[in-house]
Amino acid sequence: MTQQPSPTKSFLRALAGESLPTPPCWLMRQAGRYLPEYREIRSKAKGFLDLCYTPDWATEVTLQPLRRYGFDAAILFSDILVVPDALGQPVRFQEGEGPALTPVRDDRQIAALTLDGFQDRLRPVFETVSRLKTAIPTETALIGFSGAPWTVATYMVEGGGSKEFLAAKALAYGQPASFQRLIDLLVEATGDYLVTQIDHGAEAIQIFDSWAGALPEDAFDRWVIEPTRRLVEKIKTERPGIPVIGFPRGAGALYKRFVEGTGVDAVSLDTSVPLDWAVAELQPRVTLQGNLDPVLLVTGGEALDRGVDRILAACRQGPFIFNLGHGILQTTPPDNVARLVDRVRRVRG
Ligand code: 1CP
């Protein structure tokens, strides 16, 4: 094993297990429609994926929130659905309606997906990572990301967003061998995708499993924990020293099994996770990240201050990164984000 140098960026120090007097801070979906400068660039792009696949634009929108707020980490601007798009299942984003894909629901449709040309189609995303590596401030860390296989599979099987996941669960429960082939393909594609992001300059990885909370515990083990464990193992083996943050949103008490079973370095807590529990059960093993209710960031004022203070008081004795419990909402006033960052930075030893 080669010895990894100790990190100097505060975000990476927290991921390495240090408890810092002022926790590092970034916010999920920190780039996006709540910022007028984002909406301006977005209006130039034909579709949302054109924005993701145009390095000039994707680099610019990644940098926008850093200029305003000086976050401790930048997250590559892209989307979890570029993976199915690059596997040959084209993704369209209709205005105001979310993503749309032609569903894959049987062996023949799954077999038509292909890794041929996969990395080539994602070249613009890797180019964005390379540019960001030199464009971000030296004290800011660069996060690469992907969706977790389960969450990405739900979009592929449903053909878009879903509330009940009837089609995805029907395949997972009723034809597990077919669903396993889809998950295996996603593990392979996503693993290559993340390693290549690291090779272009990503210093940490976050794996978004937004719909992890939809599964009962045996299915959670098989479709959430096991694929994520394989991704973490690949990163740890092939690119040692790169920390991985898992986000099994809605997992509840299964957060504990997720931490023990996947080997992640950190977990992002959704808004509903009780912090005393997380500090007692999870923080001894991993860095915590989270978990302000994004609606408090829309609300602002003293409710926001109290929400921030509650989280800091609960979590900052151990390794911790301040974040939201889910992505920033479109209606968030940009001034409230400045207020949040000031509040987090006010606390000292
Ligand atoms: O301008 C627009 O209208 C597009 C809105 C938008 C944005 C800003 C989408 C469409 N994706 C993104 C960027 C994005 N998505 C990032 C960029 C980095 C950042 O955080 O600033 C990231 C990390 C994601 C991840 C993502 N995409 C997730 C996981 C996290 C989460 O929010 O749960 C999911 C589920 C998606 C799918 C997706 N992308 C976009 C939409 C509308 C959706 C569907 C969401 C749903 O089904 O509810």
Is residue 3 in some structural domain? no
Name the average pLDDT for the chain.
97
Do 224 and 248 contact (CB within 8 A), yes or no?
yes
Nearest CA to ligand 1 atom 39: 79
Q: Which of 38, 79, 142 to mutate to test the pocket of ligand 1 (most atoms within 8 A of CB)?
A: 79
Atom of ligand 1 nearest to the CA of 206: 23
In a domain, 5, yes or no: no
Give the percent of the chain with pLDDT over 90. 96
- CA–CA separation, 26 and 13 (whole Å): 14
pLDDT for the residue 2: 58
Which long-range contacts link 103-109 to residues 24+ away (Cβ below 8 Å)?
A: 103/156, 103/157, 103/158, 103/159, 103/167, 104/156, 104/157, 104/182, 105/157, 105/167, 105/171, 106/178, 107/178, 107/181
Is the pLDDT confidence value at 131 over 90? yes
Question: Any idea what the Cα angle at residue 165 is, between residues 164 and 171, rounded to 5°?
Answer: 145
Q: Which domain holds residue 218?
A: 10-345
CATH of the domain at 91: 3.20.20.210
Whether residue 91 lies inside any domain: the answer is yes
Q: Calculate how far, in angstroms, residue 224's C-alpha sits from the geometric centre of ligand 1.
A: 19
93 forms beta bridges with: 99
Q: Domain for residue 178, yes or no?
A: yes
* Residue 254 burial (10 A CB sphere; 0-12, 13-18, 19+): buried
CA of 240 to the centre of ligand 1 (A): 28
Domain assignment present for residue 4? The answer is no
Mean pLDDT, residues 94-105 taken together: 91
In a domain? residue 186: yes
Residue 348's pLDDT band, with cuts at 50, 70 and 90, is low
Report the domain count for the chain: 1
Instruction: Judge whether 1 lies within some domain.
Output: no
Q: Which helix (H) or strand (E) holds 175?
A: none
Give the residue, by CA position, lying nearest to ligand 1 atom 14: 79
- Quote the pLDDT of residue 6: 86
Look at residue 25 and tell me if it is in a domain: yes
pLDDT band at 94 (very low <50, low <70, confident <90, very high): confident
Closest Cα to atom 44, ligand 1: which residue? 98
